[in-house]
Amino acid sequence: MSPSWVRASAPAKINLHLGVGPVRPDGYHPLATVYQAVGLVDEVTVSPSAKWCVTIAGDERLALSDVPVDGTNIAVRAARLLAERAGVDDALAIRIDKGIPVAGGMAGGSADAAATLVACDALWRLQTPREELVRLASELGSDVPFALVGGTAVGTGRGEVVVPAMVRGDYWWVVVGSSAGLSTPEVYREFDVLAGGLGIDDPGIPDELMEALRSHDLEKLALSLHNDLEPAALRMRPRLSEVLTTGIEETALGALLSGSGPSCLFLCSGPEHAQQVAHGLRAGGFGAVSVARGPVGGAKVERVG
Ligand code: C5P
């Protein structure tokens, strides 16, 4: 018998390195990135319904009202794509419990798409081959394949080509979210403006970063963290400089913007240090501060009812 509902989760991503090349003819930018999945998750629950509907739940500080509840929601697009491929004609009620900042540069929408793919695969008992799910994921968005795979991985192409990386140990991060998101396409456009005429090179992954991850050398990792989108996002949201500086003053080992922002990330030496840095940032008046460990696994089914 088919289940009456399925709940799946998928993690947020951070980019330990985000190298961006010159804009391609299709409007995307070539990337060389190192993704890490961290323990902030969204949960997606799917159940058969007479018509398609989406409900969003979670902490109000996460700008939930910015998430569309119509057919443009990426979870609906993911479910419809899988349904079309499998010849399923059922409508769904989709509930999304957000734990990942909305429009925060942490791939929350991509996590919802990845969780929806695995949830619908279980609900409709399709047993879609893994490679096929990853292919569908790349149609939905550049970060969706990584949300399926999780862990720590190198991303190339427009971010959709994902190869797992050799990494030792756990990494502790403080994440400072923002109540107002940044639009990823707008940050990339600002990147193009700043890069205008500079003749930027094709992006690559620095050897020191991969060595730091293989040997769990936190000092070396802190020095290797880099995000090519940071100058563009800081121009659009100058106050983010203050967040990054405050985290370092609060003894974080390293600081960088997450993806296209505006979430800011702080590398810490362990869970106690992360709590201490988080406490300092909260005392400094920064709102949505959380502690997250990486790497964690990708999208997975949590419960079937
Ligand atoms: O792939 P995704 O739909 O998540 O991308 C959202 C937008 O971000 C794209 O429309 C594009 O403007 C920008 N983008 C980009 N280069 C990438 C990934 C995303 O320019 N590699």
Residues 175-216 have pLDDT tens digits of 999 888 899 999 999 999 998 867 788 899 999 999 999 999
Q: Which amino acid is at 121?
A: D
Residue 103, helix vs strand vs coil: coil
Could you tell me which residues are beta bridge partners of residue 41? 11
CA 80 to chain centre: 22
Q: What pLDDT does 193 receive?
A: 95
Give the type of residue at 78: A
Q: Is the pLDDT of residue 237 over 80?
A: yes
- Kindly write down the DSSP assignment for every residue of 108-164, as one continuous string: HHHHHHHHHHHHHHHHTT----HHHHHHHHHHH-TTHHHHHHBSEEEEETTTTEEEE
Residue nearest to atom 8 of ligand 1 (CA): 185
Nearest ligand 1 atom to the CA of 107 is 4
- What is the whole-number distance in angstroms between the Cα of residue 142 and the centre of ligand 1? 7
Of the two residues 179 and 278, the one the predictor is more confident about is 278
β-pairing verdict for 161-164 and 152-156: antiparallel
The pTM is what? 0.96
8-state DSSP, 24: P
Closest atom, ligand 1, to C-alpha of 260: 8
Residues 55-74 have pLDDT tens digits of 999 987 777 888 999 999 99
93 in Cβ contact with 46 (< 8 Å): yes
Other beta carbons within 10 angstroms of residue 26's beta carbon come to: 7
pLDDT of 85: 96
Tens-place pLDDT, residues 19-50? 999 999 999 999 999 999 999 999 999 999 99
Contact 98, 64 (CB under 8 A): yes
Classify strands 31-49 and 6-20 as parallel, antiparallel or unpaired: antiparallel
Q: Is the pLDDT of residue 219 over 80?
A: yes
- Tens digits of per-residue pLDDT, 280-304? 999 999 878 999 999 999 999 999 9
Map tokens 């629950």 to a residue.
45
CA–centroid distance, 30 to ligand 1, in Å, is 10
Residue 204, SS3 per DSSP: coil
Ligand 1 centre distance from Cα of residue 188 (Å)? 8
Confidence at residue 38, expressed as pLDDT on a 0 to 100 scale: 98
* Predicted pLDDT at 18: 98
Q: Whose CA is nearest to atom 7 of ligand 1?
A: 185
Averaged pLDDT for residues 105-132:
97
